[in-house]
Amino acid sequence: MTGRSDDHEWSQQHLSHYVEGELRPGARRRLDRHAQGCVACGRGIRAMRALVHALQGLDGLTVARAPATIFDRARLAGAGGSPSSQHA
């Protein structure tokens, strides 16, 4: 099964919504299908889940939401990039 040509970019932009359960069922299935064959997006889902779990363990924090760009910064750091090269 092949996905849409923009699935990777779209998936990257929606990882935090996916992990937080904020995607509609069709969008969730789209990201599920893409992440099954995409190492980067599968890794991103695991990293986002770990981040949300860690944030929930902080004292006095009842609801934690990651900033929209947190995944981009974490992915770049893991790949040895820098935030300034993010949009190059």
Residue 43 pLDDT? 93
Q: Can you read off the two tokens belonging to residue 18?
A: 């996916």
The whole-number pLDDT of residue 6 equals: 84
For residue 1, the model assigns a pLDDT of 42
User: In which residue ranges of the chain is pLDDT below 70?
Assistant: 1-3, 59-73, 75-88
Question: Residue 42 has what pLDDT?
Answer: 93
Tell me phi and psi for residue 60, to 5 degrees. 80, 5
pLDDT of residue 52: 82
Q: What is the DSSP letter of 17?
A: H
CA 23 to centroid of chain Cα atoms? 12
